[in-house]
Amino acid sequence: MAEKKKILRALAGETLDTPPIWMMRQAGRYLPEYRATRAKAGDFLSLCYNPELAAEVTLQPIRRYGFDAAILFADILLVPQALGADLWFVTGEGPRLSTISGAEDFARLKTPGDIHATLNPIYETVKILARDLPEETTLIGFAGAPWTVATYMIAGRGTPDQAPAHALKDSNPEIFDALINRITEATIDYLSAQIEAGAEVVKLFDSWAGSLKDSDFLKYALEPTRVITEALKARHPHVPVIAFPREAGDHYIGFAKATGVDCVALDNSVSPEWGASNVQSDGCVQGNLASRHMVTGGQDLIDDTLAIREAFSKGPHIFNLGHGITPDADPENVQLMIDTVRS
């Protein structure tokens, strides 16, 4: 059956008449069934670490929409927590972590081999999903890319320009590089364990890659992705890797060849025509409808969806948003997008 799954066919380089489709953050607050399950869990982290409930919210958009893939419900900040960072969520404001500002803070982190005691519930969720998903639905595991995870570990929260991480990178490169390497090693082990539990594809989310310029992008976005991909391919040769170096701009060009990933996900700051000419020439691309369409809907959604499908129609393509769906999205607009892609 795996050979017939549409997303795996696209990731292998096949051009399909109708692109497979899934959506970043497709299990989330825009769905009433998700909100009900989260209320049952009590709080966000309790939901992440409850395998039965995490599997349930992962399955909800598959039942409702019939997406071609399910993505594991978890959070990129579980790896920092597993490495020993304190992690909590403030209602209405987002995540908070204990911070890394120097050698003393770094010395308190655990080694990558110690992460699994914390993350075992995530692997249990993957096992449930591998068992319960429809046989035609691909299971995607994921992790945050090292640069993006490091920005949260250094600042203790999300920031508009990742300034604290840039400051540590410039003022204390030894500790910064050590932190990137620690996250990289942990991410390899984390994604490998997801694959062993049943994930058929894994994805690296580098949400803040766009704030890295020139040689910093190559060193802290491209190179960690290459190292992770190479290690995963050595352990699991047949498992595809998707990378999302968001807002990479011209650095999208050649990213797949330089890192070895099987697919590059594009944000909507680049046009699909540009992506087809400059990125799809190297293989599969994913994207890149603007998330705002899931709020506004209407003819603009239809027109942009058809334009993206047409632009990428001559090569392997997975239809997706250019970033995650937002909590204020209308579930009916998601259905309209899917119907338009598949019409």
Q: Which of 34, 123, 152, 190 is catalytic?
A: 152
Give the distance between the most distant pair of CA atoms in the chain: 57
CB 275 within 8 A of CB 256: no
Alpha-carbon Rg of the chain, whole angstroms? 19
Residue ranges with strand state E in 177-283: 201-206, 241-245, 263-265
How do the residues of the chain divide into helix, strand and coil, expressed in percent and rounded to 5? Answer: 55, 15, 35
* Residue 29 among the catalytic residues: yes
What whole-number distance in Å separates Cα of residue 158 and Cα of residue 76? 12
* Residue 108 among the catalytic residues: no
Residue ranges with strand state E in the chain: 69-71, 87-90, 94-97, 138-144, 201-206, 241-245, 263-265, 284-289, 317-321
What Cα–Cα distance (Å) separates residue 62 from each residue in 53, 59, 66, 95?
15, 5, 5, 27
Q: Which of 30, 49, 68, 75 is catalytic?
A: 75
The set of residues, in sequence order, having a beta carbon less than 8 Å from that of 299 and lying 6+ positions away, is none
* Residue 38 among the catalytic residues: yes
Q: Which of 35, 38, 64, 157 is catalytic?
A: 38
Q: Which of 9, 25, 182, 309 is catalytic?
A: 25
**Residues involved in catalysis:** 25, 29, 38, 75, 152
